[in-house]
Structure 1
Amino acid sequence: MKLISAAFLTLLAGCAATTSDTGPTVSGDPYLWLEEVESDAALAQVREWNGETAAALTEDASFETYRERAYEILANPDRLSVPNRVLGDRVTNFWTDSEHTHGIWRVATIDDMLAGTPMWRTVLDLDALSVEENRNWVWKGANCLAPAYQRCLVSLSDGGSDAGYVREFDLSAGRFIEGGFTLPEAKHDVTWMNRDTLLISSDFGPDSLTESGYGRQVRIWQRGVSLSDAPVLLEIPASEVGFSVFTASDDGTLYPIISRNKTFWLHSFYHVLEDGTLREVPMPDTASITEVFDGKAIVRLHEGWGDYPAGSLVAYDLDAFVRDGSFGIEPVFTPSETQAIEQVAAGADRLYISLLDDVSGRLIALDRNWKAEDVPVPENGVVHVAAAGGKRDIAFFTAESFANPPQLFATQSGEEPALIEARSPAFDPDSIDVEQRFATSSDGTKIPYFVVRPAGAEGPLPTIMHAYGGFRIAQLPDYLIKHPYRIGPMGLFWVQEGGSFVLANIRGGGEYGPDWHESVLKENRQKVFDDLYAVGEDLKQAGLSSTLAASGRSNGGLLVGVAMTQRPDLFDGIIMGVPLADMQRYDKLLAGASWTGEYGDPDVPAEWETLRTYSPYQNLTPGADYPAPMIYTSTKDDRVHPAHARKMAARLEEFGKPFYYYENIEGGHAGAANQREEAYRAALMMAYARRVLK
């Protein structure tokens, strides 16, 4: 790619960069103009980079084949009809395929679902709605009022951004309610209190947002009252992150709850009482309410509380606390040292917990006395509770592995799990070998990782290693073609062409409970990067990898950007998706201020001293020999600002370093708004990997 564009030359006139021993100052950053998301100049530069990348990568003789194969996989109608929610005696599902690229929301009865013959009734067609309203509607979910589940709050985004619209919907009639609750575009958090009352945090006008861009007020909104006149129930300083509001339902009783998010990881929880007052739950601000079961709130501990260790579940009596503030806790479940809780879901008679045990999925069910029993599931894979609850004790769950496609099961009290539906394999499971290995990091910690190779392959292979390393999000060994947030169908293509795919379970995620995450926060962040390098070096020393690319998105995009600047000797390629990159200004861009609890605050000198040691944008230097990265982002991403990717590309271009860049004009933080866009990106990444690794 050429050294610098005409657009750059125009905007750089008189704006030379200045640096100091603490990195570039904001006033000396010549690429601040790229933070103007949809300015003519910024988009002109984006289109130029997109065009250069397309010209370079789409010339690959197999590009169109990759794109079509990826789309066939992503839009394949032979997919599981996984329930998203159990609503009384019905289940809901959101479905996309080649005919429904925006998707349809549909319902079926539980009985039909259990019989494996769901008669789906479409209640909302987003493709038709997009045409009718001239919008690019992207599904963001629905919140239906228990116990009738007739009235729902449907959330939609125009183009895929986090900000969206909310409309009241009649699930039985399959239509939006004329004159019902509606909210304009914003980052809303809203829940039902009753049929005519909502609990809402949103953008209410001037001074109503936090520095992170979320609502700093919670209001009670009565039907028929103007939102601007809705009374404020709770307000926080702009320096805090924002609110989450939700209504738990147990045996027909509704419990509206507010989570005051003081930082990304510290919260206070409040019950909203019938008279509109609040009662704060007296528990550590690191704990969180995860579910309601048998009249009790289930609390997950992220640090020890008295005799109860970090990572365990405890409970308190809801009615007693709401009635008069009586509060006492009881133990529910404590995982072992090799285990971590992934999900907690309440059925009618059992509490379901999905676990990781050395990053392998398990499912247990607890009765009302907290007696646990294992629910039989396939071994060495991933188990995900899709939906639970209803009028009888039912939980739907999926099970899969790298080699085996997802299967949908239903479990009920006293019965063996029943196979409801199985997906046809996209490839022969015997065509790949999967091995779990452990590398030793710089401080002696054992880091697990999975290696996927063609069956019987020997010797070193060109390898793509994917990792994340943050925010308690575990990386799981799910089906190889799955997960567009990882690398999607490209993983299968790569292995089928004789390469190796590696999933690294580095610290920062949730693979081994709270300490796996909290031991690498802020000043300890370098351990995350060292974990990645340890896996890469182990692959080389074991004779498994010839060439090596690191892949990551979002926080993982930051991870691989750091890897590119700290260890260019170890990596031959970098796939840097919707990344953070400028850690000096990340807290000034969109939702970035909410993440200072993870990374640190660059405005605090001591914390900037840590951030400056690894911030990719600030650590690029003209003399280094970097692997050419593939950087991708989305103009519509209103979580991680596209300027991170843009500025990284601009600095590389300034230094005359090669790179590839793709910015999708739609798509939000997912980087794509529909399956055709995902397929195009997968083909670009495949062409890139073939170029830099083979």
Structure 2
Amino acid sequence: MIGPLGNSSIRPLSLLLVIAGLSLGACGGRSDTPEDNDSDQMRQAMADGTDPNLWLEEVEGERALDWVRAENARSLEELQSHAAYAPMLAEAREILTSQDRIPEVSLRDGFAYNFWQDDTHVRGLWRRMPTAAYVTGGTEWETLLDIDALAEAEGENWVFEGALCVAPDYRRCMVTLSRGGSDAAVKREYDIAEKAFVEDGFFLDEAKSGVAWAGEDTLLIATDFGDNSLTESGYPRIVKRWQRGTAFAEAETLFEGEAEDVGVWPFSSWTGDAYQAGVVRAETFYDSVHYLITDKGLSALPFPPKTDLAGITQGLAIASLNQDWTYEGVDYPLGAVIGLDLADGGIQTIYAPADRTAVQAVVPFKGGLYLTLLDNIRGRLLMAQPRSLGWQTNTIDLPDNGVVSIGAVDEMTGDLLVSYENPSQPETLYYQKAGGVPTAIKSQPVFYAAEGVVTRQFEAISRDGTVIPYFVTAKESVLEAGPAPTIQYGYGGFQVSILPTYSGTTGRLWLERGGVYVIANIRGGGEFGPAWHQAGLKTERQKIYDDFFAVSESLIEKGITTPAQLGILGGSNGGLLMGVSLTQRPDLYGAVGIGVPLLDMLRFDQLLAGASWVGEYGSPDIAEERAFLETISPYHNLDPEADYPRPYFFTSTKDDRVHPGHARKMARLMQAYGHPFLYYENIEGGHGAAANLDQQAIRLALQFTYFGAELGLLAD
């Protein structure tokens, strides 16, 4: 899916932010002066419904890239010449490459596996150490694969995207490598013991593929098999079973979806002695059918369409319901976690959330499962285990009033790594043996001076009366002094929750300098479960934007900031939110950061993975939905005569999820209309707009320099 920059979604079908004296005088950040008739031609073309900027959709087109390079040069010259840029860049690099960061790991078969990047290993190291050593502070890592060395040896711009290893010994793994960070990637079989790619092993060429192990010599694959093998969204529509030692062309077809589907993918769960495998057919982004592979073929599970399958354990298929469901006369509520007994077909209720409580993650293991919850956006962790009279849930004791995230679970032992953090307290990592108590084992370094920094939760009232929570983080002295430069971040889509986490870069580059940072928990997200998300789908989407505006107005009413000092930031779907905010309420804002955005909502479904998102936004091919999209599409609602704050667009050429043409075309239209803007397109980097830590540091330094200068936090 199109997730927020720097955040991850828990949804299984994830197809899953940041700049010099910026002056509005003289050139004012304008692009090259448009030709005398450029504006008139653009106005007429847009009025006629003819897109005059389609040439910018040619991702690698020479004319398009010439325009990109010119805009990059113009914008970078201004931003990087600001006195604050170099210090901010150095600070961001120091934080991102710190050797004292907590190494995030996965747990399996007695080992902790980690992917590590720093200033020496720019592309990164895939490595491991025994779990026992990791939890007791060990520092000796065994390098499995050096991505920098591999890229140099093969002459490729490899970005490591993960590894899927086969049980029970987890020796052989399908390693995913993308060129420049794109979603399309190569998958190659790797032998950990030999520290080498397997000669004549499983291999999938560059594509948006999915794989699942069904045994040490059996791989389920969904990829580009040639003509008519992809959906209109660009994802696989065929799943095959490939046996070791046979040719790729001989793989057995298990399932074929339709071209109109979002895609089909294989899945599997290791039960302790064998794999239980299946296929998920995503008919829309939210409606799926799950099949198990049996000796008699594929068997459809009876779940309703809006269901997320978490995995299979102890003969139960564990799932979260994103709709109310009545099955065999029993009602199961929206947001509940259930288990389907694969032997007798019975349904067990494992957990049903209360009002203002939402399940965020469900992770099964042999013996039970872990659930993370949001209770009025405060994190909680539960362990659920089956008992003779039903499922028993126990709260795992962790600090209150913060964000709780599962880091890793050993699927066989139930050993758990879980973290706690809040905006002024760095992440603390806890380790718990199954059935034990959590023990703090590692803490993230203090990356900024948080003394005196406070986080407060407030509520705004949206246009329809809905209460919208938001969090404000700043030095208490800044809040007491009155209006201050503020960045308000928002996303509002795809059931992705935006939480008040610790960010060393935001703290050092923004809060330490006297800025205020705000996150808005608007509808469309998952902070209060599926209903909170579904309230803003398709033609109801204006509610999301009204929620965001209500938070902005509340900040101004409380004297936290002023319109001239209020900047907003969002990426991907949040980039659409920024575009709508720019065109609908330019009076509220002094700066707008628009990252890897959707902006042309009348053609989004024709660009890259866009067709997969009609379940979220609606379809331009359906009259009622198109009529609504016409009212919000930023590209089509840009007013030649309006007075807009100067936005900063940032995107990536290599983003093969959200087309860079969205940002290019909107910026070009502003150029023709004579509106000031800044633009930076990373030539690589994928949907995260950065392919490595150095590029992330540049993105963050540009972002905070832009906001600081535009909102008056930084001196010229």
Query: What band does the TM-score fall into relative to the shorter chain?
Result: over 0.9
Q: Who is 1:248 aligned against?
A: 269
Q: Give the 3 Å change call, closer, same or farther, for CA 118–348 of structure 1 in structure 2.
A: farther
Q: Give the 3 Å change call, closer, same or farther, for CA 132–332 of structure 1 in structure 2.
A: same
Q: Who is 1:535 aligned against?
A: 551
What amino acid is aligned across from residue 30 of structure 1 in structure 2? P
Q: Who is 2:230 aligned against?
A: 209
In structure 2, what is the Cα distance between the partners aligned to 1:345 and 1:11? 59
Q: Give the 3 Å change call, closer, same or farther, for CA 16–655 of structure 1 in structure 2.
A: closer
Q: Who is 1:485 aligned against?
A: none
Match 2:483 to one of 442, 460, 468: 460
In structure 1, what is the Cα distance between the partners aligned to 2:412 and 2:139? 18
- C-alpha contact (below 8 Å) 2:492/2:522 kept by paired residues: yes
Match 1:399 to one of 405, 420, 424: 420
Match 2:534 to one of 504, 518, 522: 518
In structure 1, what is the Cα distance between the partners aligned to 2:684 and 2:506? 21
In structure 1, what is the Cα distance between the partners aligned to 2:56 and 2:245? 43
Alpha-carbon distance, 1:413 to partner: 3.4
What amino acid is aligned across from residue 188 of structure 1 in structure 2? S
C-alpha RMSD of the superposition: 1.9
Deviation per residue, 1:406-450 (Å, 9 max, x gap): 111111234221111112211233231110111111111111111
- 1:110-189 equivalences under 5 Å are 110-117=131-138, 119-189=140-210
Q: Who is 1:576 aligned against?
A: 594
- C-alpha contact (below 8 Å) 1:294/1:368 kept by paired residues: no
Q: Who is 2:10 aligned against?
A: none
SS at match of 2:517: strand
Alpha-carbon distance, 1:16 to partner: 5.9
In structure 1, what is the Cα distance between the partners aligned to 2:127 and 2:514? 40
In structure 2, what is the Cα distance between the partners aligned to 1:24 and 1:526? 25
SS at match of 1:185: strand
What amino acid is aligned across from residue 701 of structure 2 in structure 1? A
- 1:443-522 equivalences under 5 Å are 443-457=464-478, 458=480, 459-481=482-504, 489-522=505-538
What amino acid is aligned across from residue 677 of structure 1 in structure 2? Q
Q: Who is 2:454 aligned against?
A: 433
Match 2:694 to one of 676, 686, 690: 676
Alpha-carbon distance, 1:237 to partner: 1.6
Are 2:323 and 1:303 aligned? yes
- C-alpha contact (below 8 Å) 2:605/2:619 kept by paired residues: yes
Deviation per residue, 1:526-567 (Å, 9 max, x gap): 000000000000000011113101100000000011000000
- C-alpha contact (below 8 Å) 1:24/1:618 kept by paired residues: no
Bigger mean CA deviation after superposition, 628-637 or 105-114: 105-114
- C-alpha contact (below 8 Å) 1:70/1:490 kept by paired residues: no
Q: Who is 2:17 aligned against?
A: none
- 1:276-295 equivalences under 5 Å are 277-295=297-315
Match 2:84 to one of 62, 86, 94: 62
In structure 1, what is the Cα distance between the partners aligned to 2:451 and 2:264? 48
Match 1:39 to one of 48, 56, 61: 61
In structure 2, what is the Cα distance between the partners aligned to 1:191 and 1:11? 56
In structure 2, what is the Cα distance between the partners aligned to 1:477 and 1:53? 31
Deviation per residue, 1:89-139 (Å, 9 max, x gap): 222111111111111111121221232325321101111111111112111
- C-alpha contact (below 8 Å) 2:56/2:661 kept by paired residues: yes
What amino acid is aligned across from residue 555 of structure 2 in structure 1? L
Match 1:341 to one of 347, 359, 364: 359
Are 2:262 and 1:262 aligned? no
SS at match of 1:160: coil
TM-score (ref. length: structure 1): 0.94
- C-alpha contact (below 8 Å) 1:67/1:679 kept by paired residues: yes
Q: Give the 3 Å change call, closer, same or farther, for CA 4–422 of structure 1 in structure 2.
A: closer
Alpha-carbon distance, 1:19 to partner: 5.3
In structure 2, what is the Cα distance between the partners aligned to 1:168 and 1:451? 46
Q: Who is 1:323 aligned against?
A: none
SS at match of 1:299: strand
- 1:620-631 equivalences under 5 Å are 620-631=638-649
- C-alpha contact (below 8 Å) 2:369/2:384 kept by paired residues: yes
Match 2:219 to one of 184, 198, 216: 198
Number of aligned residues: 674
Q: Who is 2:240 aligned against?
A: 219
Match 2:669 to one of 632, 647, 651: 651
Deviation per residue, 1:596-626 (Å, 9 max, x gap): 0000001111111010101000000101111
Q: Give the 3 Å change call, closer, same or farther, for CA 165–200 of structure 1 in structure 2.
A: same
In structure 1, what is the Cα distance between the partners aligned to 2:448 and 2:697? 18
Match 2:625 to one of 600, 604, 607: 607
Alpha-carbon distance, 1:328 to partner: 1.5
- 1:313-462 equivalences under 5 Å are 313-318=337-342, 320=343, 326-369=344-387, 370-457=391-478, 458=480, 459-462=482-485
Deviation per residue, 1:236-272 (Å, 9 max, x gap): 2211100122111122221112110000000000001
In structure 1, what is the Cα distance between the partners aligned to 2:227 and 2:36? 35
What amino acid is aligned across from residue 628 of structure 1 in structure 2? R
- C-alpha contact (below 8 Å) 1:350/1:413 kept by paired residues: no
What amino acid is aligned across from residue 669 of structure 1 in structure 2? H
What amino acid is aligned across from residue 464 of structure 1 in structure 2? I
In structure 2, what is the Cα distance between the partners aligned to 1:82 and 1:566? 41
What amino acid is aligned across from residue 65 of structure 1 in structure 2? P
What amino acid is aligned across from residue 478 of structure 1 in structure 2? T
Bigger mean CA deviation after superposition, 382-391 or 303-312: 382-391
In structure 2, what is the Cα distance between the partners aligned to 1:262 and 1:617? 29
Q: Who is 2:103 aligned against?
A: 81
Deviation per residue, 1:268-322 (Å, 9 max, x gap): 00001245x100101101112112232211111001112211001110123x1xx
Bigger mean CA deviation after superposition, 202-211 or 221-230: 221-230
- C-alpha contact (below 8 Å) 1:347/1:395 kept by paired residues: no
In structure 2, what is the Cα distance between the partners aligned to 1:686 and 1:559? 19
Bigger mean CA deviation after superposition, 296-305 or 349-358: 349-358
SS at match of 1:611: helix
SS at match of 2:117: strand
In structure 2, what is the Cα distance between the partners aligned to 1:13 and 1:568? 21
In structure 1, what is the Cα distance between the partners aligned to 2:60 and 2:448? 42
In structure 1, what is the Cα distance between the partners aligned to 2:652 and 2:157? 15
SS at match of 1:520: coil
Alpha-carbon distance, 1:492 to partner: 3.5
- Consecutive unaligned residues of structure 2, counting only runs of 5 or more, are 1-26
Q: Give the structure, 1 or 2, with the largest relative contact order (CA under 8 Å, sep 6 or more).
A: 2
TM-score (ref. length: structure 2): 0.91
Deviation per residue, 1:510-531 (Å, 9 max, x gap): 0000000001100100000000
Alpha-carbon distance, 1:60 to partner: 0.8
Q: Give the 3 Å change call, closer, same or farther, for CA 24–601 of structure 1 in structure 2.
A: farther
Alpha-carbon distance, 1:632 to partner: 0.1
SS at match of 2:709: helix
What amino acid is aligned across from residue 340 of structure 2 in structure 1? Y
What amino acid is aligned across from residue 90 of structure 2 in structure 1? E
Are 2:130 and 1:106 aligned? no
Alpha-carbon distance, 1:636 to partner: 0.1
